[in-house]
């Protein structure tokens, strides 16, 4: 399904989105008024605003939609959602689309939001708690060692300030604290993923 | 007021806006007793607060004046203002309504003189200007307010202001102790015409209506543009009073929005398009309007208006729902933020003013109502109960024209209840005929000195003039003629003194009509109040000329009344109450059935062998009931069965109309049967419900018609679905299963000259968007895997149609805003090429089936306006439907694009052939829901026509008029002018070419009287003499007096009320004019002009309604005829040695309250320049 070619303006891709994207069944309800596009505070950063993405989905532009970085721009301000005259959960659809594109491996490489989210997730599922120190360092060093040092130096004063204020514990570098039942957490996430994969037709 | 005046024969109409007034008047003009209850102190509702109507840009108060005149002349309607229904109990035919009547603190004695208002200092926000300005707490709501009585705001009761108002009133009209009253009424049926209110704009937070002064609503903008509104018609920014030249219009402010109103309010697109023209009117090319929209819903022939606005270089369109507005604090500009979705362009555009096109919210929403009333998802009344009906915008979001249509239908439904309750079928009204055979003429004149008349002019002198010059047998003065004692004085004289002709020298003939109601005698009204003391400055300098004016009006009244007779009604009246309907489709069947249910025998003629028309070919119909989600049963079979079984309906299938002779009340119609035989039916009125033909799709080869069998029109698709009989729909090309369907909207429609040289239909057929959604549902409901796409440019599903659109989307029908460039056959499928207007790129799609939404072409018969030589050149000769044996042609005149519609916004059923009404898609493109309403309304009008005809009285707009044209044939020279010029085809010619007057076809405009060169045509109370004698009666000062005399012949429908209102607002004009109201400028006979000039008058001003394509003349072409005749008067003037400027024609609208005095003064100046007429002293 995910690999099949979609003909233009047939409902194939729309159906794929309805099936696999969170809140995707709302896409068909858009009436192209454009209030979402105009309401987005990051609007000018979007190559395709939400309403246009919805139209592209209906037009069967699978590749263009899933490789787009537009939905990665969403900051969850919910302006579009409260204003949408059809009450589409636009924010959720944007995240759903981004997640789906990511799972398919079609999301743009190096897209900062995507990378950050990946690091966040990987960090989180290790022990069930976000380790802020290792997460920050991972972010600083994601573009190489030299850049990482530069980033770290730039953030030096903030980091020290956080340590002084006891908001950051340097000892967390050793692994840090986590949830009590870590095995249980892993099992839970594995099960969730299995269910999601089964529902959305991912093989792996 | 007590319960006793109402019975179970009475209809209660709740709401006095245009729908309520219409419902009440239509029933009353059918002889029914009606109580009209209005919450506010005046009738007129929201339309009275509009500046102009779309698409004609005419003034709503013009129709209001006609409706008020209908009301004043009809004794069957009781008006209750400030009255609200608080409870209703009982059942059909037997309701008890409880009404609460709020205190007005002013009783019936009020003369609207305005003294109380002058005495009061407190001011309150003016609700009639949506609070944009303030008014005195003792007020007359507006210039057209009816009842014409002041109101005291409760806030001044118990304050010194209240006492001051009371002290100022000279007629004792103020009653500060008035209390809320509760009354109970027995009624048989109830019509809810509770209307709408503008959606609360403050709830649309991102637009900042509550935060930014320069964001206003569309209803406020109407008031702002009205010259009588808070800014005097100037478009100004509320924040700083700066001229607002760059105006933004924001569509769907509240409408089509599940956070606010679910439905589309239908009127707002047209309202904003109209308002862009206000901006143009105000600022010309310097103005700039921008419309921000989702879909422009300019339905049916309103499309023309949209196209016209699109061509206007000052107007631009942005397809975008505006995201938010911010006000620039420095400049005061409002900056609109959003994205133009056609190609994704982000904007932040500053404007001087933003106008929110706020939606219509039903007024009744949230009010506690009787249990029978069921509201739909938007709060409109869906069903009101067995004997209760809804009308106008209480039913749905409707424009004025449709609201009136709907109210007319509601009126008939109420009548059905009343007639059944009474057991009097086809009862009609009791004949209130004119006076009995007139005894010897005895005249009387009554001079009123109330309302300040006595202080301004010498009524004693006027009385003397009435006696000496007017030769009145009785002359009486009275301090307040309209009060009980005054009216009693007149009544006593009629009884004891056998007075037959009276002159009332008091206020305008438009005022105090309830008091001065003496139908058994001839009456002339000398307009001393509005026409003299209110239009002349109150200073010693003007005292002499003011007195002269008053004296002349008395002379004129006396001269007029002596030439008047009490109209006795058309003697050639006929009383056939059967009604014939042509066309057996949904419209025709509905008309027939509704009339039969009201107790009228009906003849239904259908060309084919079966009832049902196109609707019978439909699988399902677009739903008309909530939740508006699924295609519904057409109900055609049931309707046809009811028609076939109804004892009052006679059916003629396989039949056409061979010939129509006669007039209302006595039509004789030859019906040609299939066998070749002819039968004749005698009926009183006709309804033409001949429907439409689908536009021939073969004219659309570019859209694949004829090139691929897989391209069908909407009816073609119905056939395919029917043929599939519940199974999968097959591709016509090869019988393969249909997996994808593309619906192409506006195929061969909305086609303007610019793009394709007008090859196709210029209008929008209105129903096709919803029909395509319904058809897409046929597929989706059967198999959700079938792809269905609707390709549209503007999706037009007004009102609750928005719910149906949503349901289509829910079911997976996809919608693409795109323009199709071509459809080609590709193997067994089709290839559709188009431009996607959102993604801004060309694309193609493969489809098994392509459905072209072609439009409706009216089956209206022969276009009688096409010259015969042009008809001879036509390829297919049009076939007449009615075969009218009328001098003026075989069918009804068409209005536009072949539709037999009315030209009047306020009066949708006014065809130009009396007693013949068009219903359904032959009148206007429409869907089935509307056609059913329309057919019911037409049935109402047909019933009214037979009732009027049987009483010998006129139909609209002079409904109830018992006068009729009388011709003295021995003087006739057979010139044919009357037969040619009659706008209603009322006059035929006999073998000797003498005119044959069919009085029941006549509308009493008097155009024939104006046309007649030998002056042999007259009405009993309106003739060449009634006006001619007035012209001769005035006192003519000599050449050296420096007092010229200017005659004004003013149309009584528009110009005369404008003069009155100028008086009401104390706008002064020259004292040298004398105004005579005429029924229509078309009734002006040139002899009046020559007589006036020969008699020494210095100038003649003719004031009539607008002529031309967008004519305002209530008699279609009266003002046009007058203008044509006057174009020839120049020769006469030259022969007389007079300057051509001595006769001038003006187009005057009822709203020209400032302009009319101005015109008069300018003309008086001109006469002064030209000099006095040399003709004085010869007469």
List pLDDT tens digits, range B565-614.
999 888 888 999 999 999 999 999 999 999 999 999 999 999 999 999 99
The percentage of chain B sitting over the pLDDT mark of 90, rounded to a whole number, equals 90
- pLDDT for B1045 equals 97
Same domain, A52 and A117: no
- pLDDT for A111 equals 93
Token duo for residue B812:
């997976």
List pLDDT tens digits, range B726-777.
999 999 999 999 999 999 999 999 987 655 566 899 999 999 999 999 999 9
- pLDDT for B756 equals 53
Which burial class, exposed, middle or buried, applies to B1169 when counting CB atoms under 10 A from its CB (0-12, 13-18, 19+)? exposed
Task: Check whether B1109 has a pLDDT greater than 70.
Answer: yes
List pLDDT tens digits, range B790-807.
999 999 999 999 999 999
Token duo for residue A107:
């999301």
Same domain, A119 and A84: no
Strand partners, B706: none
- Residue A158 belongs to domain spanning: 112-200
- pLDDT for B806 equals 98
Phi/psi at B1043 (nearest 5 deg)? -120, 85
List pLDDT tens digits, range A167-177.
888 888 888 88
A31 contact B CB<8A: yes
Q: Hey, how many other C-beta atoms are within 10 angstroms of the C-beta on B756? A: 11
Domain end marker among A46, A73, A104: A104
Same domain, A178 and A119: yes
- pLDDT for B757 equals 61
Task: Please state, in angstroms and rounded to a whole number, the distance separating the CA atoms of residues B844 and B823.
Answer: 9
Which of B344, B787, B844 comes nearest A49 by C-beta?
B344
- pLDDT for A2 equals 38
Whether A4 maps to a domain, the answer reads no
A28 contact B CB<8A: yes
Are the Cβ atoms of A9 and B252 closer than 8 angstroms?
A: no
Task: Please state, in angstroms and rounded to a whole number, the distance separating the CA atoms of residues B947 and B940.
Answer: 11
- What is the helix (H) or strand (E) element at residue B254, kind and residue range? none
Mean pLDDT for B129-157 is 95
Task: Check whether A201 has a pLDDT greater than 90.
Answer: no
Closest chain A residue to B343 measured between Cα atoms?
A52
- Domains of chain B, CATH where assigned: 1-102+180-195+363-424 (3.50.50.60), 103-178 (no CATH), 198-362 (3.50.50.60), 439-566 (3.40.50), 579-691+859-951 (3.50.50.60), 694-764+772-832+848-856 (3.50.50.60), 1036-1179 (3.40.50)
Q: Strands of B102-170 (E only): list them.
A: 123-125, 134-136, 138-139, 151-152
Domain end marker among A104, A127, A155: A104
Task: Please state, in angstroms and rounded to a whole number, the distance separating the CA atoms of residues B392 and B141.
Answer: 23
List pLDDT tens digits, range B221-264.
999 999 999 999 999 999 999 999 999 999 999 999 999 999 99
Same domain, A47 and A88: yes
Q: Strands of B468-551 (E only): list them.
A: 474-478, 501-506, 522-527
Are the Cβ atoms of B324 and A38 closer than 8 angstroms?
A: yes
Q: What is the CATH number of the domain that holds A56?
A: 1.10.1060.10
B359 contact A CB<8A: no
Task: Check whether B2 has a pLDDT greater than 50.
Answer: no
B806 contact A CB<8A: yes
Which of A11, A34, A85 comes nearest B259 by C-beta?
A85
Dihedral through CA A91, CA A97, CA A103, CA A107, nearest 10?
Answer: -100
Q: How far is CA B617 from the centre of its chain?
A: 34
Task: Check whether B722 has a pLDDT greater than 80.
Answer: yes
B627 preceded by a cis bond (ω within 30 of 0): yes
Same domain, A138 and A159: yes
Are the Cβ atoms of B740 and A83 closer than 8 angstroms?
A: no
List pLDDT tens digits, range B1136-1153.
899 999 999 999 999 999
Task: Please state, in angstroms and rounded to a whole number, the distance separating the CA atoms of residues B358 and B267.
Answer: 10
Strand partners, B835: B819, B842
Cα atoms in the Cβ-side hemisphere of radius 13 Å centred on B107: 17
Query: Strand B678-683 to strand B667-673: parallel, antiparallel, or no bridges (unpaired)?
Result: antiparallel
A17 contact B CB<8A: no
Task: Check whether A5 has a pLDDT greater than 50.
Answer: no
How many residues appear in chain B?
Answer: 1179
Mean pLDDT for B986-1014 is 94
Whether A1 maps to a domain, the answer reads no
Same domain, A88 and A18: yes
A14 contact B CB<8A: yes
The SS3 of residue B643 is helix
- pLDDT for B754 equals 52
Task: Please state, in angstroms and rounded to a whole number, the distance separating the CA atoms of residues B84 and B102.
Answer: 8
Task: Please state, in angstroms and rounded to a whole number, the distance separating the CA atoms of residues B519 and B514.
Answer: 11
Phi/psi at A190 (nearest 5 deg)? -60, -40
Mean pLDDT for B361-384 is 84
Phi/psi at B954 (nearest 5 deg)? -75, 160
Q: Which residue has the higher pLDDT, B276 or B571?
A: B276
Sign of the torsion formed by the C-alpha atoms of B1095, B1101, B1106 and B1109: positive
Task: Check whether B874 has a pLDDT greater than 90.
Answer: no
B window 1003-1032, beta carbon within 8 A of A: none
List pLDDT tens digits, range B284-340.
999 999 999 999 999 999 999 999 999 999 999 999 999 999 999 999 999 999 999
How distant, in Å, are the alpha carbons of B34, B278, B579, B944 from that of B591?
23, 40, 10, 13
Whether A160 maps to a domain, the answer reads yes
Are the Cβ atoms of B258 and A86 closer than 8 angstroms?
A: yes
Confidence of residue B113 (pLDDT cuts 50, 70, 90): very high
- pLDDT for A59 equals 95
Confidence of residue B439 (pLDDT cuts 50, 70, 90): low
Sign of the torsion formed by the C-alpha atoms of B594, B595, B599 and B601: negative
Are the Cβ atoms of A55 and B836 closer than 8 angstroms?
A: yes
> With contact defined as beta carbons under 8 Å apart, do B33 and B186 qualify?
no
Q: Which residues of A touch B322 (CB under 8 A)?
A: 35, 38
Sign of the torsion formed by the C-alpha atoms of B533, B536, B542 and B547: negative
Query: Strand B522-527 to strand B501-506: parallel, antiparallel, or no bridges (unpaired)?
Result: parallel
Same domain, A47 and A91: yes
Closest chain B residue to A56 measured between Cα atoms?
B839
B339 contact A CB<8A: yes
Strand partners, B1147: B1104
Task: Please state, in angstroms and rounded to a whole number, the distance separating the CA atoms of residues B937 and B583.
Answer: 16
Closest chain A residue to B251 measured between Cα atoms?
A33
Q: Hey, how many other C-beta atoms are within 10 angstroms of the C-beta on B879? A: 12
Q: What is the DSSP letter of B730?
A: B
Query: What is the ipTM, given to two decimal places?
Result: 0.92
Task: Please state, in angstroms and rounded to a whole number, the distance separating the CA atoms of residues B336 and B744.
Answer: 33
Closest chain A residue to B337 measured between Cα atoms?
A38
List pLDDT tens digits, range B936-961.
999 999 999 999 999 999 999 998 89
Task: Check whether B431 has a pLDDT greater than 70.
Answer: no
Mean pLDDT for A96-108 is 95
Domain end marker among A53, A77, A104: A104
- pLDDT for A75 equals 93
Q: Strands of B68-175 (E only): list them.
A: 77-80, 83-91, 94-101, 123-125, 134-136, 138-139, 151-152
Q: Which residues of A touch B259 (CB under 8 A)?
A: 82-83, 85, 87
Confidence of residue B428 (pLDDT cuts 50, 70, 90): very low
Task: Check whether B897 has a pLDDT greater than 60.
Answer: yes
Closest approach of B836 to chain A, Cα-based (Å): 9
The SS3 of residue B247 is strand
- pLDDT for B572 equals 84
Q: Which residues of A touch B814 (CB under 8 A)?
A: 11, 14, 28, 58
List pLDDT tens digits, range B1023-1045.
999 999 999 999 999 989 999 99
Establish, for the pair of chains A and B, how many residue pairs have beta carbons separated by less than 8 Å.
109
Phi/psi at B483 (nearest 5 deg)? -80, 175
Task: Please state, in angstroms and rounded to a whole number, the distance separating the CA atoms of residues A56 and A66.
Answer: 10
**Angle (CA) B561 B563 B565, round 5°:** 80
List pLDDT tens digits, range B509-518.
999 999 999 9
Q: Hey, how many other C-beta atoms are within 10 angstroms of the C-beta on B971? A: 11
Closest chain A residue to B739 measured between Cα atoms?
A10
String of DSSP letters for B904-947: -SS-TT--SSTTEEE-GGGTS---HHHHHHHHHHHHHHHHHHHH
Whether A158 maps to a domain, the answer reads yes
Q: Which residues of A touch B337 (CB under 8 A)?
A: 38
Same domain, A99 and A127: no
Structural domains in chain A (count): 2
Question: How far separated are the first and last CA of chain A, in Å rounded?
Answer: 14
The SS3 of residue B1004 is coil
Same domain, A162 and A191: yes
Same domain, A56 and A121: no
Whether A86 maps to a domain, the answer reads yes
Same domain, A99 and A18: yes
Task: Check whether A200 has a pLDDT greater than 90.
Answer: no
Confidence of residue B1176 (pLDDT cuts 50, 70, 90): confident
> With contact defined as beta carbons under 8 Å apart, do B947 and B929 qualify?
no
Task: Check whether B384 has a pLDDT greater than 90.
Answer: no
Confidence of residue A3 (pLDDT cuts 50, 70, 90): very low
Phi/psi at B843 (nearest 5 deg)? -155, 165
Residue closest to B1079 by CA, chosen among B1052, B1107, B1113:
B1052
Are the Cβ atoms of B259 and A87 closer than 8 angstroms?
A: yes
Whether A147 maps to a domain, the answer reads yes
Confidence of residue B426 (pLDDT cuts 50, 70, 90): very low
Whether A2 maps to a domain, the answer reads no
Same domain, A48 and A130: no
Task: Please state, in angstroms and rounded to a whole number, the distance separating the CA atoms of residues B1145 and B990.
Answer: 35
Token duo for residue B332:
């005061």
Mean pLDDT for B536-545 is 96
Are the Cβ atoms of B322 and A38 closer than 8 angstroms?
A: yes
Whether A5 maps to a domain, the answer reads no
Are the Cβ atoms of B322 and A55 closer than 8 angstroms?
A: no
Closest approach of A129 to chain B, Cα-based (Å): 39
- pLDDT for B1013 equals 95
Residue identified by tokens 């009547």 is B101
B324 contact A CB<8A: yes
Residue closest to A91 by CA, chosen among A77, A70, A111:
A77
């Amino acid at each position: 399904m995910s690999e099949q070619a979609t003909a233009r303006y047939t409902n194939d891709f729309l159906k794929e989105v309805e099936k696999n994207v969170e809140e995707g069944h709302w896409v068909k309800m858009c009436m192209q008024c454009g209030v979402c596009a105009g309401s987005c505070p990051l609007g000018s950063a979007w190559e395709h605003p939400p309403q246009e993405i919805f139209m592209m989905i209906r037009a069967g532009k699978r590749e263009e939609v899933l490789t787009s970085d537009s939905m990665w721009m969403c900051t969850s301000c919910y302006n579009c959602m409260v204003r949408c005259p059809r009450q589409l959960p636009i924010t959720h659809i944007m995240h759903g689309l981004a997640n789906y594109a990511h799972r398919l491996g079609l999301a743009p490489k190096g897209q900062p939001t995507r990378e950050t989210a990946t690091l966040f997730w990987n960090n989180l599922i290790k022990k069930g708690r976000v380790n802020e120190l290792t997460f920050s360092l991972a972010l600083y060093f994601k573009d190489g060692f030299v850049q990482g040092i530069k980033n770290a130096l730039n953030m030096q004063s903030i980091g020290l300030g956080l340590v002084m204020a006891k908001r950051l514990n340097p000892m967390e570098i050793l692994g840090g604290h986590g949830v009590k039942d870590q095995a249980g957490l892993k099992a839970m996430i594995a099960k969730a993923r299995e269910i999601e994969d089964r529902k959305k037709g991912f093989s792996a | 007021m007590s319960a006793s005046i109402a019975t179970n024969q009475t209809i209660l109409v709740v709401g006095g806006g245009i729908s309520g007034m219409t419902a009440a008047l239509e029933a009353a003009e059918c002889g029914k007793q009606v109580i009209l209850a209005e919450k506010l102190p005046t009738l007129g509702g929201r339309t009275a607060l509009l500046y102009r109507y779309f698409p004609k840009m005419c003034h709503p108060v013009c129709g209001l004046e006609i409706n008020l005149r209908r009301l004043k002349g009809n004794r069957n309607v009781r008006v209750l203002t400030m009255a609200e229904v608080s409870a209703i109990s009982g059942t059909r035919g037997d309701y008890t309504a409880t009404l609460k009547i709020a205190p007005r603190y002013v009783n019936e004695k009020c003369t609207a003189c305005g003294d109380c208002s002058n005495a009061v200092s407190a001011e309150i926000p003016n609700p009639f200007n949506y609070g944009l300005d303030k008014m005195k707490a003792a007020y007359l709501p507006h210039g057209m307010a009816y009842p014409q009585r002041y109101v005291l705001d409760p806030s001044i009761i118990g304050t010194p202001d209240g006492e001051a108002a009371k002290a100022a009133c000279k007629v004792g009209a103020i009653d500060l102790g008035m209390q809320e009253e509760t009354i109970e009424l027995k009624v048989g049926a109830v019509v809810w015409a509770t209307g709408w209110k503008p959606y609360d704009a403050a709830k649309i937070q991102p637009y900042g209506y509550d935060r930014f002064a320069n964001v206003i609503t569309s209803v406020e903008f109407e008031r702002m543009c009205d010259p009588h509104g808070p800014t005097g018609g100037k478009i100004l920014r509320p924040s700083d009073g700066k001229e607002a030249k760059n105006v933004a219009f924001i569509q769907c402010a509240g409408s089509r929005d599940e956070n606010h109103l679910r439905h589309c309010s239908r009127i707002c697109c047209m309202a904003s398009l109209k308002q862009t023209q206000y901006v143009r009117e105000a600022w010309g090319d310097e103005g700039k309007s921008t419309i921000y929209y989702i879909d422009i819903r300019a339905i049916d022939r309103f499309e023309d208006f949209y196209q016209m606005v699109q061509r206007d270089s000052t107007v631009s369109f942005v397809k975008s729902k505006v995201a938010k507005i911010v006000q620039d604090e420095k400049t005061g500009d409002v900056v609109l933020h959003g994205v133009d979705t056609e190609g994704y362009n982000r904007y932040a555009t500053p404007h001087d003013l933003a106008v929110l096109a706020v939606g219509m919210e039903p007024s009744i929403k949230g009010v506690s109502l009787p249990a029978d009333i069921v509201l739909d998802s938007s709060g409109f009344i869906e069903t009101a109960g067995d004997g209760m009906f809804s009308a106008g915008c209480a039913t749905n979001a409707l424009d004025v024209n449709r609201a009136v249509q709907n109210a007319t239908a509601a009126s008939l439904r109420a009548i059905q209840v009343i007639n059944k309750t009474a057991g009097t079928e086809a009862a009609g009204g009791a004949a209130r005929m004119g006076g009995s055979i007139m005894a010897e003429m005895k005249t009387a004149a009554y001079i009123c000195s109330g309302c300040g008349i006595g202080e301004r002019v010498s009524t004693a002198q006027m009385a003397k003039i009435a006696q000496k010059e007017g030769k009145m047998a009785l002359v009486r003065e009275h301090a307040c003629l309209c009060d009980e004692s005054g009216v009693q004085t007149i009544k006593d004289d009629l009884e004891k003194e056998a007075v037959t002709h009276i002159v009332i020298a008091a206020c305008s003939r438009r005022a105090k009509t309830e008091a001065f109601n003496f139908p058994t005698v001839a009456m002339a009204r000398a307009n001393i109040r509005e026409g003299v003391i209110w239009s002349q400055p109150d200073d010693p300098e003007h005292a002499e000329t003011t007195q002269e004016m008053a004296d002349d009006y008395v002379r004129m009244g006396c001269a007029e009344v002596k030439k008047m007779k009490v109209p006795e009604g058309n003697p050639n009246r006929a009383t056939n109450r059967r009604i014939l309907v042509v066309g057996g489709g949904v419209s025709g069947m509905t008309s027939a059935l509704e009339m039969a249910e009201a107790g009228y025998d009906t003849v239904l003629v259908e060309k084919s062998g079966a009832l049902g028309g196109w609707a019978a070919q439909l699988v399902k119909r677009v739903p008309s009931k909530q939740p508006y989600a699924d295609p519904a049963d057409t109900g055609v079979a049931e309707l046809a069965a009811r028609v076939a079984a109804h004892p009052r309906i006679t059916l003629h299938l396989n039949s056409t109309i061979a010939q129509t002779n006669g007039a209302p009340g006595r039509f004789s119609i030859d019906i040609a049967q299939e066998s070749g035989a002819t039968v004749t039916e005698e009926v009183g009125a006709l309804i033409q419900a001949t429907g439409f033909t689908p536009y021939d799709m073969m004219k659309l080869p570019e859209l694949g018609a004829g090139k691929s069998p897989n391209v069908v029109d909407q009816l073609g698709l119905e056939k395919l679905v029917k043929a599939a009989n519940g199974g999968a729909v097959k591709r016509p090309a090869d019988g393969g299963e249909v997996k994808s369907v593309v619906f192409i909207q506006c195929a061969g429609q909305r086609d303007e000259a610019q793009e394709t040289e007008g090859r196709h239909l210029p209008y929008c057929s209105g129903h096709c968007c919803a029909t395509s959604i319904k058809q897409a549902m046929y597929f989706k409901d059967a198999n959700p895997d079938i792809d269905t796409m609707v390709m549209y440019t503007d999706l037009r599903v007004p009102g609750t149609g928005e719910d149906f659109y949503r349901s289509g989307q829910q079911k997976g029908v996809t919608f693409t805003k795109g323009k199709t460039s071509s459809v080609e056959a590709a193997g067994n499928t089709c290839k559709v090429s188009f431009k996607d207007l959102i993604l801004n790129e060309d694309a193609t799609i493969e489809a098994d089936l392509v459905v072209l939404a072609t439009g409706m072409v009216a089956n209206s018969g022969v276009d009688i306006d096409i010259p015969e030589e042009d008809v001879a050149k036509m390829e297919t000769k049009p076939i007449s439907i009615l075969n009218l044996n009328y001098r003026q042609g075989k069918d009804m005149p068409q209005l536009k694009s072949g539709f037999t519609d009315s030209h009047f916004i306020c009066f949708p059923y006014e065809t130009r052939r009396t007693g013949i009404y068009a219903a359904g898609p032959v009148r206007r493109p429409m869907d089935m829901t509307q056609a059913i309403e329309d057919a019911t309304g037409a049935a109402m009008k047909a019933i009214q026509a037979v009732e009027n005809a049987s009483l010998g009285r006129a139909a609209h707009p002079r409904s109830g008029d018992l006068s009729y044209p009388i011709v003295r044939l021995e003087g006739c020279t057979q010139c044919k002018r009357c037969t040619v010029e009659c706008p209603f085809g009322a006059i035929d010619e006999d073998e000797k070419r003498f005119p044959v007057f069919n009085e029941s076809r006549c509308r009493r405009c008097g155009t024939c009287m104006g046309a007649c060169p030998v002056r042999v045509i007259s009405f009993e109370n309106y003739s060449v003499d009634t006006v001619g004698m007035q012209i001769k009666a005035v006192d003519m000062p000599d050449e050296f007096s420096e007092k010229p005399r200017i005659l004004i012949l003013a149309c009584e429908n528009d110009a005369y009320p404008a003069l009155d209102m100028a008086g009401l607002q104390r706008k002064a004009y020259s004292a040298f004019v004398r105004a005579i109201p005429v029924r229509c400028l078309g009734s002006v006979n040139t002899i009046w002009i020559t007589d006036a000039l020969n008699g020494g008058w210095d100038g003649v001003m003719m004031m009539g309604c607008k002529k031309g394509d967008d004519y305002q003349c209530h008699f279609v072409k009266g003002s046009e005829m007058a203008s044509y005749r006057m174009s020839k008067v120049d020769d006469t003037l030259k022969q007389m040695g007079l300057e051509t400027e001595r006769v001038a024609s003006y187009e005057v609208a009822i709203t020209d309250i400032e302009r009319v005095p101005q015109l008069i003064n300018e003309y008086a100046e001109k006469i002064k320049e030209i000099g006095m007429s040399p003709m004085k002293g010869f007469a």
